[in-house]
């Protein structure tokens, strides 16, 4: 075990420059969902040069691809992402909020590191298998549009994971940890109201306001909050208010809802209620409403068997050696987090490290250079959840930025191609590659993960929450 781990780690180290460069280039491309053309192409090129065979353009997603090497069972999937986020442009390494001129997107969720580390892990697995003449198939899944569109759900729906035995993923974070615990299922739904415009003073009785309908719908949903399960989350953004002229009755208005709950079936039920509220708002205002669901993320079924392997390897690669400059780099970013994030930090750390001595040791550190015990922290959503319904799946996170740095922030964009991110990339790649090899060479371990997965599903099957026939689109 130790020997193999060291050998795989060396394989990752041998090629780390390629993948750190990949991460940095993708950071610079900063392409939004379903438009990750350069990011996808670069990864395809690197994987092809390393001997992988690419299948490009999957499930209606032009930027999705699978890089595969080897043959036969088992089939191990390592998942990558590479989309950027709107409004999070930021100069690299800069601790003052400074958007890059002319650029709106930024890698504020670190998906540039995510894809590169996963590709690096797959490359190391391939090298090891080739060297030791081992059977099996390793795949890197280039998965677009994790943010907002749930790209993986389309890949799952169209069967691209059907023959996989194990799936492994990771995410940039402030903590090194195995990410157990379910993410929330999440639907995105557009509600578009159509009314009749009129002069708001001259003939208001001849107008029917779509904006009124949006406002009434939101009020209705906010009243619904009292009567929904407490773990549910509902939030909205008004996309179109119908214009900027108050003297015109707005004939079109649009609101986008994110509806989340621990289980897909619970989200489906909430959506049914919210649809009814929208229809009620249309009735009240004598407008019409169009309802269009554009994405669906399922909750995650985490897998304790895979997590155990990942956790053992992660503990072997952390703590990481940082230079004084790197510590200084991270420290500078601990100083520019928001006051609320700073206030929340000890509470969060206490959750992760309930032992007082451990807490005191790390509270105020420039980098959380330890492996946190598996803890359920904030509950976001990820389309890795959809994969986990059809393949036993587990995830880790590694420390890629300073403590307190929030995901989806300019502070995260700034650090996502910095030295801490680069080291987090390497730790993630090593950990995932080692765990992948455990499953590649041990059919009993694969069977154990599968048995655990069947037990955890408890008779449920993938609820396939995407609207029937709906294809990925840019919205």
Contacting residues toward Zn ion, per CB under 5 A: 109
Q: Which residue has the CB atom at the shortest distance from Zn ion?
A: 109
Shortest separation between residue 108's beta carbon and Zn ion, angstroms? 9
Query: Between 316 and 406, whose beta carbon lies closer to Zn ion?
Result: 406
CA dihedral 419, 425, 430, 436 (to 10 degrees): 180
Per-residue CA distances from 120 to 18, 397, 428 (Å) = 9, 15, 9
Shortest separation between residue 298's beta carbon and Zn ion, angstroms? 16
Shortest separation between residue 342's beta carbon and Zn ion, angstroms? 22
The H or E element containing residue 239 is strand 233-240
Q: What is the DSSP letter of 170?
A: E
Shortest separation between residue 272's beta carbon and Zn ion, angstroms? 28
Query: Between 107 and 313, whose beta carbon lies closer to Zn ion?
Result: 107
Distance CA 69, CA 139 (A): 6
Shortest separation between residue 278's beta carbon and Zn ion, angstroms? 29
Shortest separation between residue 412's beta carbon and Zn ion, angstroms? 10
Query: Between 75 and 109, whose beta carbon lies closer to Zn ion?
Result: 109
Question: CB neighbours of 307 closer than 8 A, spacing ≥ 6?
Answer: 178, 180, 374, 394
Query: Between 127 and 422, whose beta carbon lies closer to Zn ion?
Result: 422
Per-residue CA distances from 320 to 23, 166, 216, 407, 428 (Å) = 19, 27, 53, 22, 12
Per-residue CA distances from 37 to 34, 120, 154, 391, 413 (Å) = 8, 20, 18, 27, 20
Query: Between 211 and 384, whose beta carbon lies closer to Zn ion?
Result: 384
Residues in the chain: 475
Query: Between 252 and 408, whose beta carbon lies closer to Zn ion?
Result: 408
């Amino acid at each position: 075990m130790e020997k193999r781990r060291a050998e795989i780690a060396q394989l990752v180290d041998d090629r780390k420059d390629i993948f750190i460069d990949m991460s940095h280039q993708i950071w610079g491309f900063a392409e939004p969902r379903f438009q990750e053309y350069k990011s996808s192409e670069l990864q395809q090129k690197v994987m092809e040069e390393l001997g992988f065979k690419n299948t490009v353009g999957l499930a209606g997603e032009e930027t999705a691809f699978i890089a595969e090497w080897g043959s036969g069972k088992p089939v191990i999937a390592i998942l990558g992402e590479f989309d950027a986020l709107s409004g999070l442009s930021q100069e690299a390494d800069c601790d003052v909020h400074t958007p890059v001129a002319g650029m709106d997107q930024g890698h504020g969720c670190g998906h540039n590191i995510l894809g590169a580390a996963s590709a690096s892990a797959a490359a190391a697995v391939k090298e090891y298998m080739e060297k030791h003449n081992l059977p099996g198939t390793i795949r890197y899944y280039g998965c677009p549009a994790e943010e907002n569109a749930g790209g993986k759900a389309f890949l799952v729906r169209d069967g691209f994971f059907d023959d996989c035995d194990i799936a492994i993923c990771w995410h940039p974070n402030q903590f090194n940890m195995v990410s157990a615990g379910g993410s929330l299922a999440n639907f995105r739904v557009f509600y578009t109201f159509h009314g009749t415009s009129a002069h708001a003073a001259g003939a208001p009785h001849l107008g029917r306001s779509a904006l009124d309908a949006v406002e009434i719908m939101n009020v209705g949903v906010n009243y619904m909050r009292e009567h929904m399960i407490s773990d549910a989350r509902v939030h909205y953004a008004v996309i179109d208010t119908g214009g900027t002229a108050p003297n015109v009755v707005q004939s079109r208005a649009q609101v986008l809802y994110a509806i989340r709950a621990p289980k897909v079936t619970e989200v489906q039920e909430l959506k049914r209620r919210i649809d009814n509220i929208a229809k009620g708002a249309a009735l009240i205002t004598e407008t019409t409403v169009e309802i269009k669901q554009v994405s669906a993320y399922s909750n995650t079924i985490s897998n304790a068997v895979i997590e155990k392997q990942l956790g053992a390897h992660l503990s072997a690669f952390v703590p990481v050696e940082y230079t004084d400059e790197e510590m200084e780099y991270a420290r500078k970013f601990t100083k520019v987090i928001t006051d609320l994030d700073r206030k929340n930090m000890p509470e969060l750390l206490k959750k992760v490290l309930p032992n007082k001595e451990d807490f005191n040791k790390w509270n105020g550190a420039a980098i959380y250079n330890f492996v946190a015990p598996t803890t359920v922290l904030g509950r976001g959503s990820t389309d890795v959840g959809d994969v986990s319904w059809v393949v036993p799946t587990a995830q880790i996170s590694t420390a890629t930025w300073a403590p307190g740095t929030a995901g989806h922030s300019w502070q995260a964009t700034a650090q996502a191609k910095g030295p801490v991110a680069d080291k987090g990339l390497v730790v993630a790649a090593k950990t995932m590659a080692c765990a992948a090899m455990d499953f590649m060479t041990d059919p009993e371990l694969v069977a154990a993960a599968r048995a655990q997965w069947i037990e955890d599903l408890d008779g449920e099957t993938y609820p396939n929450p995407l609207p029937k026939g709906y294809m990925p689109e840019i919205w």
